[in-house]
Amino acid sequence: MNRPLGVLFLCTHNSARSILGEVLLNTLGTGRFIAYSAGSTPRESGQPNPLAIQTLRDAGFDTQGLRSKSWDEFLRTDSPRIDLVITVCGNAEQACPVFPARPATAHWGYDDPSAGDAPDEVKAVAFRTTLFQMRRRIEAFVALPDASLERMALEQSARALSTT
């Protein structure tokens, strides 16, 4: 690869799962990937879910500069180049727009750790579980050889990881 691959994680509110994916890939894929996240209807406050932020911090990840944003930011002509779009929730998978340059796509579904009315202590466990599951998959993704990340093989490689 002669440049880092741009990867966009999508989820409805861009406040939990997609934020986790962005941080994990930017940290674990140093130099080979540039990860972003966005959502169809981001949080009005622009702030990711506080439990997502706390989970990342507790695991030793940098959370500075994270914000909940619309996928419209990635549909403009001056947007960063996106080579792969990974949806992490079913709603985003169904409503995913067509991005410039027609990136490869994959769906890595995870349960929403913020769903329901459970107390924060219970949700915190769900966030840690989701972070662990995502980390395993992203570690496998960043370990792929460069040939598996070329344009024609990228979608197939990413989709194959949806079952891990």
Cite the DSSP H helix spans in the chain: 17-28, 50-58, 90-95, 120-142, 151-160
Q: How far apart are CA 122 and CA 35, in angstroms?
A: 28
Q: How far apart are CA 86 and CA 29, in angstroms?
A: 15
Amino acid at the residue 14? N
Q: Which residues are catalytic?
A: 11, 89, 96
φ, ψ for residue 86, nearest 5 deg:
-115, 115
